[in-house]
Amino acid sequence: MTSAPIAVALDAPDLETAARWATLVTPHVSTVKVGLELYLRYGPDVIASVRGASRVQVFLDLKLHDIPATVRGAARAVARLKPAYLTVHAAGGAAMIREAVEAAPATTIAAVTVLTSLGDADLAALGIAGPAPDAVRRLAVLAVEAGAQALVCSPQEAAAVRAEVGPGITLITPGVRPAGAAVQDQARVATPEEALAAGADLLVIGRPITGAPDPGAAAAAIATALRRTSVDGPAGTSAETSAETP
Ligand SMILES: O=c1ccn([C@@H]2O[C@H](COP(=O)(O)O)[C@@H](O)[C@H]2O)c(=O)[nH]1
C-alpha cells in the first residue's frame, strides 16, 4: 500500500519524542516535517534521527526570509542534508526565492504564501492587501515566476491557487483539521478530505496526530479516510472552531 500524502509536523520539545512520533507515523505517511523548534534546538542531527532507517521524506520547514545572499548561504548549508522540501517565505521576494532554488538544486523549494494562522484582520493590521485568498494568489504567482516548485497555502485557497499556477506545482497545505478537531492557532482550515478534493498534493498535519493518545493510529485513520476520498469522492465536512486542544 502506498503511504498517504501527509507530512506529519514533528513539533516536539525533544528529540526522543520527535523520533518516537516519526517511528509511529512513518508506516502510514509519505513525509515527516522538521520545523524551527526541533531544528534550532538540535541542528542538522535531527534529520537523521527522524529519518531513521525508513524511506520517509523529510520536509525542512525553516521558512527562510532574509536578503538574497543570506538565504542563498542558508539554503546551501542545509542542502547537504538532502531534505525533500525546504520552505522560504514568498514575501522575501523573487530574488531571494531564486537564490534558494539555485543553492539547493536537489531539494524542492516551497514558498510559504500567507501563514495559515493569519486571517483577514491580521492581514489588514499588517498592511497587506487582502482578503487572504487574493494575497495568497499574488504571492503564489510571484514565487512560481521566481522558480519555486512548491507553494504552501491553506486548503481554502488550494483550488484557486491551482487554477492560477497550473498542474506542475506541488501544493502543500497546513491548516488541516479532521472534522470536529480543535482549530487551535490556525485561522484558515479545512478537513483532510476537503484539502485533497481542493487539489492539495501534501497535507501538513501536526497536533491532530501528535496530540492523539496513539499518533500511529491517528495517522492511519486519516490516511484511510484520504484513500476513501480518492475512491469515493469527498465526504468530510468543515472542522469546527473549537478552542480546546485534542
Ligand atoms: O502557513 C503555514 C506554514 C507552516 N505551518 C506549519 O505547519 C504545522 C501545522 O501544525 P498543526 O499542529 O497541524 O497546526 C506547524 O509545524 C506549522 O509551523 C503552518 O501551520 N502554516
- Tell me if 68 is assigned to a ligand binding site: yes
Q: Which of 8, 11, 189 to mutate to test the pocket of ligand 1 (most atoms within 8 A of CB)?
A: 11
User: Cα 231 vs. chain centroid, distance in angstroms?
Assistant: 24
- In residues, how long is the chain? 246
pLDDT at 244 over 80: no
What digits encode the pLDDT tens for the residues 63-95? 999 999 999 999 999 999 999 999 999 999 999
206 CB within 6 A, ligand 1: yes
* Average model confidence (pLDDT) across the chain: 93
How far apart are the CA of 169 and the centre of ligand 1, in A? Answer: 20
Give the relative orientation of helices 215-232 and 15-25 as an angle to the nearest 10 degrees. Answer: 40
Q: Which H or E element spans position 109?
A: strand 108-112
Average pLDDT over residues 129-148: 97
pLDDT at 51 over 50: yes
CB 207 within 8 A of CB 184: yes
The protein residue whose alpha carbon is closest to atom 13 in ligand 1 is 206
- Tell me if 65 is assigned to a ligand binding site: yes
Q: Residue 1: its pLDDT value, please?
A: 65
Q: Residue 55: its pLDDT value, please?
A: 80
**Is the predicted ipTM greater than 0.85, yes or no?**
yes
Q: Residue 232: its pLDDT value, please?
A: 73
What digits encode the pLDDT tens for the residues 89-108? 999 999 999 999 999 999 99
The angle formed by the CA atoms of residues 63, 67 and 68, to the nearest 5 degrees, is 90
The protein residue whose alpha carbon is closest to atom 20 in ligand 1 is 174
What digits encode the pLDDT tens for the residues 198-223? 999 999 999 999 999 999 999 999 99
Cα separations in angstroms, 219 against 32, 35, 178:
12, 19, 11
User: Cα 170 vs. chain centroid, distance in angstroms?
Assistant: 11
pLDDT at 2 over 80: no
CB 84 within 8 A of CB 58: yes
11 CB within 6 A, ligand 1: yes
What digits encode the pLDDT tens for the residues 171-194? 999 999 999 999 999 999 999 999
Q: Residue 54: its pLDDT value, please?
A: 78
The one catalytic residue in 63, 76, 138, 228 is 63
Average pLDDT over residues 129-144: 97
CB 52 within 8 A of CB 75: no
How far apart are the CA of 116 and the centre of ligand 1, in A? Answer: 7
228 CB within 6 A, ligand 1: no
To the query of whether residue 63 is one of the catalytic residues in this protein, the response is: yes
Q: Residue 242: its pLDDT value, please?
A: 38
Q: Which of 112, 202, 204 to mutate to test the pocket of ligand 1 (most atoms within 8 A of CB)?
A: 204
- Exposed, middle or buried: residue 80 (CB in 10 Å: 0-12, 13-18, 19+)? exposed
CA distance 159 to 84: 24
Helix (H, G, I), strand (E, B) or coil at 30: strand
- Tell me if 64 is assigned to a ligand binding site: yes
Average pLDDT over residues 33-37: 98
pLDDT bracket for residue 11 (50, 70, 90): very high
Residue tagged 486542544 (cell numbers): 245
Q: Residue 133: its pLDDT value, please?
A: 97
Q: Residue 240: its pLDDT value, please?
A: 44
For the entire predicted model, the pTM comes to: 0.94
203 CB within 6 A, ligand 1: no
109 CB within 6 A, ligand 1: no
pLDDT at 237 over 80: no
10 CB within 6 A, ligand 1: no
CA distance 4 to 26: 10
